[in-house]
Amino acid sequence: MKKLLAALVLATGPAFAEDVVTYDTDQSFDDVSFGLENAIIDAGLVIDHVSHTGEMLERTRGDVGSDVVIFDVADIYSFCSAKLSREVMEADPMNVMFCPYDIFIMVRHDKPDVTTIGFRAYPEGEMQKIQELLDGLARAAIGLD
């Protein structure tokens, strides 16, 4: 059985910091990415975009005068659910600010043996439907479903 370092984290910090839900695993980045892609597709959703944030930060590191390597790899998957988006936006049109929904996968440079998958936590109320969706997808990606 694959070793899992599962952790549910509610990050604390300055008032502008958002809460985040993360799961850590010793599975490879590629395995977790493959698992997430399959989980999204299996849920009947379409990946709108994959942002290769880690590559961008590494590519521009020297240009901005930094010598700090943050990630070995980090991607953000963006997608939406027409059904759930309609539900949460009919309840409150301002919920549009949360769409599309994102799940990130990263391997921090200082923790090369840990792959982290996660997403921002959403406010109480209707947006908990989206949080449940994202949690299910993240958990499925690493075999916790």
What are the tens digits of pLDDT across the range 36-52? 999 999 999 999 999 99
For residue 68, pLDDT over 50 is answered with: yes
Question: Is residue 104 included in any domain, yes or no?
Answer: yes
Whether residue 106 lies inside any domain: the answer is yes
CA distance 88 to 81: 10
Q: Which residues pair with 118 in a beta bridge?
A: 22, 104
Compute the distance between CA of residue 117 and CA of residue 126 in angstroms, rounded to an integer. 23
What gap in Å lies between CA 54 and CA 74, rounded to an integer? 4
Indicate which CATH number applies to the domain containing 81. Answer: 3.30.310.70
Domain enclosing residue 99, as ranges: 7-11+19-141
The pLDDT of residue 112 is above 70: yes
Q: Which of the two residues, 9 and 42, has the higher pLDDT score? A: 42
Q: pLDDT band at residue 18, thresholds of 50, 70 and 90?
A: low
17, pLDDT greater than 60: no
User: Would you say residue 1 lies in a domain?
Assistant: no
pTM of the model: 0.87
The answer to whether residue 91 sits within a structural domain is yes
Rounded CA-CA distance 92/86 in Å is 10
Task: Indicate whether 32 belongs to any domain.
Answer: yes
Q: Structural domain tally of the chain?
A: 1
Let me know if residue 59 belongs to a domain. yes
The reply to whether 2 falls in a domain is: no
Q: Does residue 124 sit within a domain?
A: yes
